[in-house]
Amino acid sequence: MAYTTDQYKGIVAETITIHGHNDDEVHAYMAKPLGDGPFPGLILIPHALGWTDFHKEMIHKFAYNGYVAVCPDIWCRAGHGEPEDVVAKVRSEGGLADDQVVGDVVGVASYIRGLSVSTGKVGLMGSCSGGRHTFLAACRTQGIFDAAVEGWGGNVVQPQERLTGAQPISPFEYTKDLSCPLLGLFGNDDQNPPPADVDVHEQELKKFGKTYEFHRYDGAGHGFMYYHMPLYRQEQAMDGWSKVWEFLGRHLSS
Amino acid sequence: MCSNIVSIGDIEGFGRGVDGWFDLKQAVITFDHALRLPVDHAITIDFVNRDKGLSARVPVELTAESARELIRVIEMALAEGQEQHLTLEPSQEH
């Protein structure tokens, strides 16, 4: 519904604790609209900057637009400090394990569905490494997510030389198991994922008859929707947001 | 954290972090997305001491060209020191 000035808008937001992979306690940031709902859920997987204010602002944005939105601190097992320091530690220790991230977002989905204001529908979104995690989680789970938004997922098509102990299998290999509709947003000047990898990603989705839509932007590179970074491209970013709202509205409305 | 290109070296030295000087144990080098530079990828160097907590870290983010220049000038300084028979090893005469 388009915003009109007579609407009474409000959100509530706070830090919460959810049970993630291995039933570990994981911090998360949640925001939801005022009122009894019911509201669809949206999980935002943070990217390489860490669990930052940027992601919390995004959570506010989703809540303001009608979603129970939650962003988990997927690095929290490494301890607490400034987000970039936490991420730096995890990076030097081999990075986040794919299994752990998938387990954490499944835990967030369960938390959202347990809320009295939930419609039961839950979407998933992430960009960069979070885009990779989004696609991975949407493939490696069934019946958990109702829609997934992958923003420029680096290493979705992950070559052998980039596989690690924490990331032992390329997400691309799981394409046949994708469990929900997928929206992909990509910049054509991106180096990771480069357009050639996005082509491969798309061909595999077609091969398995998956429901997806990709939007690929000229004049945009990696992270083109990060308004706080030099990579930001206003025109492409605003179009990207319009695609996000339309897609989520279509697949998460009751 | 998209590229998974990480190199780690054990080092000895001191760096100045948010809480002052501390002894360094490792240099963690990555080739990954730039977080501040207006380029796709950057070299980051984290000088750290993991024994002293997450904030015991001196980070820098460099363009590829700058990283090569840094290597060049370090090598130049080391070579000049060697030519002058100076040493960076612990002194035996104190």
B residues 5-64 near A, CB within 8 Å? 6, 8, 26, 28, 30, 32-33, 35-38, 40-41, 46, 48, 50, 53-55, 57, 59
Give the number of other CB atoms < 10 A from CB of residue B42: 21
- For chain A, how many structural domains are there in total? 1
State yes or no: ipTM above 0.85.
no
What gap in Å lies between CA A149 and CA A151, rounded to an integer?
Answer: 6
Q: Which of A100-114, A158-172, B29-43 has the lowest mean pLDDT?
A: B29-43
Q: Extract long-range pairs of A161-167: CB within 8 Å, 24+ residues apart.
A: A162/B3, A162/B4, A164/A94, A164/A95, A164/B4, A165/A94, A165/A97, A166/A94, A166/A95, A166/A96, A166/A97, A166/A98, A167/A95, A167/A97, A167/A98, A167/B4
Domain ranges of chain B: 5-63
Q: Write down the mean pLDDT value for chain A.
A: 96
* Residue A72 CA from chain centroid, whole number: 10
**Chain A residues with beta carbon closer than 8 angstroms to that of B26:** 92
* Selection from A17, A58, A13, A42 nearest residue A225 by Cα: A58
Nearest to A91 among B6, B41, B50 (CB): B6
Cβ proximity of B26 and B7 under 8 Å:
no
How far, in Å, CA of A169 to CA of A167, rounded?
6
Domain membership of residue A4 (yes or no) is no
Residue A2 lies in a domain: no
Distances (CA, A) of A131 to A210, A241, B29: 17, 15, 24
Question: What's the confidence (pLDDT) of residue B3?
Answer: 77
Which of B28, B31, B74 shows the shortest CA–CA distance to A161?
Answer: B31
Q: With an 8 Å Cβ cutoff, are A128 and B33 in contact?
A: yes
Specify the higher pLDDT residue, A229 or A23. Answer: A23
Closest Cβ–Cβ partner in B1, B40, B59 for A48:
B1
Residue ranges of chain B with per-residue pLDDT less than 50: 94
pLDDT over 70 percentage in chain A: 99
Residue A210 has pLDDT above 80, yes or no: yes
In angstroms, how far is CA A243 from the centroid of its own chain? 15
Beta carbons of A148 and A212 less than 8 angstroms apart: no
pLDDT of residue A1: 67
How many other CB atoms are there within 10 angstroms of residue B85's CB atom?
6
What's the rounded mean pLDDT across residues A30-39? 96
pLDDT at position B39 is: 83
DSSP at A115: S
pTM: 0.92
Number of Cβ pairs closer than 8 Å across A and B?
A: 81
Among B33, B41, B46, select the one facing A88 at the smallest CB separation. Answer: B46
User: What is residue B93's predicted lDDT score, i.e. its pLDDT?
Assistant: 55
Distance spanning both ends of chain A, measured CA to CA: 15
Token readout for A249 is 């509205």
Give pLDDT tens digits for A190-206: 988 999 999 999 999 99
What single letter denotes the amino acid at residue A12?
V
The DSSP string of A239-252 is: HHHHHHHHHHHHHH
Percent of chain A with pLDDT over 90: 91
Asked whether the predicted pLDDT for residue A80 surpasses 90, the reply is yes
Q: How confident is the model at residue A34 (pLDDT cuts 50, 70, 90)?
A: very high
Q: Do A154 and B40 touch (CB under 8 A)?
A: no
Quick check: is A49 in a domain? Answer: yes
Question: Is pLDDT at A137 greater than 70 in this prediction?
Answer: yes
Report the pLDDT averaged over residues A244-248.
98
With CB atoms and an 8 Å threshold, state whether B4 touches A190.
no
**Within a domain: residue A5?**
no
Q: Give the chain B residue nearest A48 (alpha carbons).
A: B1
CATH number of the domain bearing residue A153: 3.40.50.1820
Within 53-82 of A, beta carbons closer than 8 Å to B belong to: 78-82
Q: Which of B6, B32, B36 sits opposite A92 (nearest CB)?
A: B6
Question: Looking at chain A from residue 169 to 198, which residues have their Cβ under 8 Å from any Cβ of chain B?
Answer: 190-192
Mean pLDDT, residues A104-119 taken together: 98
Would you state the pLDDT for residue A11? 98
Q: What is the pLDDT of residue B92?
A: 61
Spatial distance between the Cα atoms of B11 and B28, rounded to a whole number of angstroms? 10
Q: Cα(B15)–Cα(A28) distance, rounded to whole angstroms?
A: 33
Question: Which pLDDT belongs to residue A84?
Answer: 92
Single-letter residue type at A239: D
Q: Which of A75, A89, A155, A160 to mutate against chain B (most B CBs within 10 Å)?
A: A89
A150 closest CA partner among A96, A212, A90, A102: A212
Chain A residues 204-243 with a CB less than 8 Å from chain B:
221-223, 229-231
